[in-house]
Amino acid sequence: MKLLMIATALTGFACADSLPLIPLPVSVTAREGAFEFSAGTAIRFDRDLKTEADLFAADLQALTGTAPKTAAEELRIFLHSEIRLDLDAAADLPAGGYKLVISPGAVVVTGKDSSGVYHGTRTILQLLPPRGAAIWKDETPARLPALEITDYPRFGWRGMMLDVGRHFYPVADIKDFIDWMAFHKLNTLHWHLTEDQGWRIEIRKYPKLTEVGAYRESSPPYGNRKSDDGVRYGGFYTQDQIREIVAYAAARHITIIPEIEMPGHAAAAIASYPELGNTDIPGYAPKVMTRWGVHPYTFAPKEETFRFLEDVLGEVCELFPSKFIHIGGDEAPKTQWRESKFAQEVMKREGLKNEEELQSWFVRRIGKFLKSKNRRLIGWDEIQEGGLDQSATMMVWRDAKWARHALALGNDVVMATTSHTYFDYYQNPAAAELAKGDEYEAIGGDLPLAKVYSYNPASVAETPAQEKQILGTQAQLWTEYAKDMKKVQYLAFPRIAALAEVAWTPHESKILDDFLSRLDGIMKHYDAGKLNYCKPAGPPGKEGRDGSRPESPVGGKP
């Protein structure tokens, strides 16, 4: 922290306390002087970094209004002012790491790999004044303080989960969200594509999934979750749109992990193909759900279902190159399996003691299929309730005790606990939010910025080996209360900045007040990007920003 402040003193950098960087880099050393950046500054790049150079050039053009010259390194064109993008696979850095050297004569980003270079360019963008700043309108160059940064991520999985089942967002909105993730050096978008209330991914072999399953007849309005607006609602992504989004994210070094929910949260799929459900139970009548909450419709454990799911996952694997495929597994009520003679016979045949073991049997079959496709299965922590398969990775959402259980068994985990990462919870007291209007409704809960910032995903590990089993962390954007991307932004920002620092920066380097003062600089970029973020109340250290505040009297238990 001290070094950041020295850098400020030497260069007269605009931000009062420290460099406006989030996540905080691993190490920053101040040097003397500054680099003068202007519309005339060019980009020289290693030939393997053309994508990164082109994206960076477009970002700089958005600031200055002028497309910077770009030149591959072998072109010996004289450029009087340049930012160099280099690769050094032998650099003593973890994957995704980079060094950034800013001197009066040049700026050099050297990445361990192309993602490291991309991260380095995000750091430069945070150091520059935001889009629309007065400086870009006159001829004055922007001064980048001379310094040396060595930086790399704490975790390889730095994610956001976005639920498009409850509400559906246009392609342009998803791309914009990806850009903001990249700005914070997040690298994993967990895309929750199927839900009780809507199936959102085109599957060629099963057209009714989107003809029927992508639409519901009504939704609860904001402010009255127990009622119905009576308005038909829906939408889905075509396979071409999915390819477009996956490629867009990949160029920005973000992997998209698709989630196909099973055996629960499957009402939309079962409404599309009713033969896949537990057809032998009393009153069987699946439909795409119109209310939030947990619903009883689960896939039946029959061969037809496995054929269907393998076909679906086969198409999913063709669309998404991610190593991990998420199969959901959360909140699958066992009522229908208890009532179904067929499900009970499967349990007897397979020697399964209870319905939890039936779910684990179900998950193991899907895991085998994914393995045949050279993919890894990840699921919510319920997948261990009837025995956890050795090869499964667990996404821990309910309680850290499930993480300890999985770590002890030797399984990998991703930490996504409700306590610190559920961004559908209120970030200010619920009463204060609801006083602004029904559209500020959240699911409930209480997750202020400071609490997100305090998270240590590795605290559950008891040994260094277990620490390595923690792949990383992510925040969840369940979207019952987010009808559009503006509301998603309001829930996500600025908590996403805290999450980014949790996932990237060494835990021992995190200081809340310092983060909050750097956030002031980052919020100028949010303002410039017209991001609809939730403004933290009061100055750093005051009530509302340090996490101490009155009990929230409104808002149900999520």
CB-nearer residue toward ligand ACM: 315 or 331: 331
Which of 435, 432, 455, 428 lies closest to 544 in space, CA to CA?
428
Least distance from ligand ACM to the Cβ atom of residue 369, Å:
22
- Return the number of the residue (59 or 382) whose C-beta is nearest ligand ACM: 382
Q: For 246-384, where are the E strands, in sequence order?
A: 255-259, 324-326, 376-380
Q: At closest approach, how far in Å is the CB of 333 from ligand ACM? A: 12
Query: Under the criterion CB under 6 A, does residue 330 sit at the interface with ligand ACM?
Result: yes
Q: Whose Cβ is closer to ligand ACM: residue 233's or residue 397's? A: 397
> What is the nearest approach in angstroms of ligand ACM to the Cβ of residue 421?
10
In whole angstroms, the minimum distance from the beta carbon of 423 to ligand ACM comes to 12
Q: Is 173 in the site for ligand ACM (CB under 6 A)?
A: no
Strand partners, 260: none
Nearer to ligand ACM, 311 or 330 (CB): 330
- Cβ proximity to ligand ACM: between 17 and 330 the closer is 330
Q: Which is nearer to ligand ACM, 229 or 330 (CB)?
A: 330
Contacts of 122 by beta carbon, 8 Å cutoff, 6+ apart? 182, 183, 184, 185
By CB under 6 A, residue 48 contacts ligand ACM: no
- Hey, how many other C-beta atoms are within 10 angstroms of the C-beta on 138? 7
Tokens of 376: 């890894």
Q: Is 323 helix (H, G, I), strand (E, B) or coil?
A: coil
Can you tell me whether residue 115 is helix, strand or coil?
helix
Decide whether 153 or 328 has the Cβ nearer to ligand ACM: 328
Q: How near is the Cβ of 381 to ligand ACM at its closest, in Å?
A: 8
Between CA 352 and CA 386 the distance in angstroms is 9
Sheet holding 42-45, edge to edge: 27-37, 142-151, 98-102, 107-111, 82-87, 42-45, 70-72
Rank residues 130 and 328 by Cβ distance to ligand ACM and give the closer one: 328
- Shortest distance, CB of residue 428 to ligand ACM, whole angstroms? 22
Question: Is residue 380 within the footprint of ligand ACM (CB under 6 A)?
Answer: yes
For β-strands 107-111 and 470-477, DSSP reports them as unpaired
Binding-residue pattern over the window 338 to 377 for ligand ACM, x denoting contact by CB under 6 A: ----------------------------------------
Nearest approach, Cβ of residue 297 and ligand ACM (Å): 15
H/E stretch holding 492: helix 485-492
- Strand segments, DSSP code E, in 312-446 are 324-326, 376-380, 393-396, 413-415
CA-to-CA distance for 180 and 475, rounded, in angstroms?
14
For 445: left if phi > 0, alpha if psi spans -120 to 50, otherwise beta; the answer is: left
Reading the block at residue 198, the tokens are 């809507």
Comparing CB distances to ligand ACM, the nearer of 299 and 397 is: 397
Q: Minimum distance between the CB of residue 330 and ligand ACM, rounded to whole angstroms? A: 4
Closer Cβ to ligand ACM, 331 or 546, answer by number: 331
385 lines the binding site for ligand ACM (CB under 6 A):
no
Q: What's the closest the beta carbon of residue 161 comes to ligand ACM, in angstroms?
A: 9
Residue 192 CB, nearest approach to ligand ACM (Å): 9
Q: Which is nearer to ligand ACM, 52 or 195 (CB)?
A: 195
- Euclidean distance between CA atoms 361 and 481, whole angstroms: 34
Q: What is the contact mask toward ligand ACM in residues 396 to 425, using x (rule: CB under 6 A)?
A: -x----------------------------
Total residues contacting ligand ACM (rule CB under 6 A)?
Answer: 4
Identify the three-state secondary structure at position 321: coil
Restricting to residues 288-317, name those near ligand ACM by CB under 6 A: none
User: Which one among 88, 217, 311, 331 touches ligand ACM, defined by CB under 6 A?
Assistant: 331
Residue 352: half-sphere exposure toward Cβ, Cα within 13 Å:
22
CB of 265 to ligand ACM, least distance (A): 8
Q: What is the nearest approach in angstroms of ligand ACM to the Cβ of residue 443?
A: 10
User: Do strands 98-102 and 142-151 pair parallel, antiparallel, or not at all (unpaired)?
Assistant: antiparallel
- Residue 144 φ/ψ, nearest 5 degrees: -95, 125
Quote the least distance from Cβ 397 to ligand ACM, whole Å: 4
Q: Would you say 54 or 330 has its CB closer to ligand ACM?
A: 330
Query: Which residue of the chain is nearest ligand ACM when measured via CB?
Result: 330
Of 166, 162, 295, 163, residue with least CA distance to 233: 166
Question: At what angle are helices 495-504 and 485-492 packed, to 10 degrees?
Answer: 50
Cα separation, 385 vs 225, in Å, equals 30
Nearest residue (CB) to ligand ACM, 380 versus 515 = 380
User: For residue 72, what are the β-bridge partners?
Assistant: 45
Between 244 and 331, CB nearer to ligand ACM: 331
3-state secondary structure 429-490: CHHHHHCCCHHHCCCECCCCHHHHHCCCHHHHCCCHHHHHHEEEEEEEECCCCCCCHHHHHH
> Are the C-beta atoms of residues 311 and 205 closer than 8 Å to each other?
yes
CA atoms within 13 A on the CB side of 309: 32
Minimum distance from residue 175 beta carbon to ligand ACM (Å): 25
Residue numbers at the binding site for ligand ACM (CB under 6 A): 330-331, 380, 397
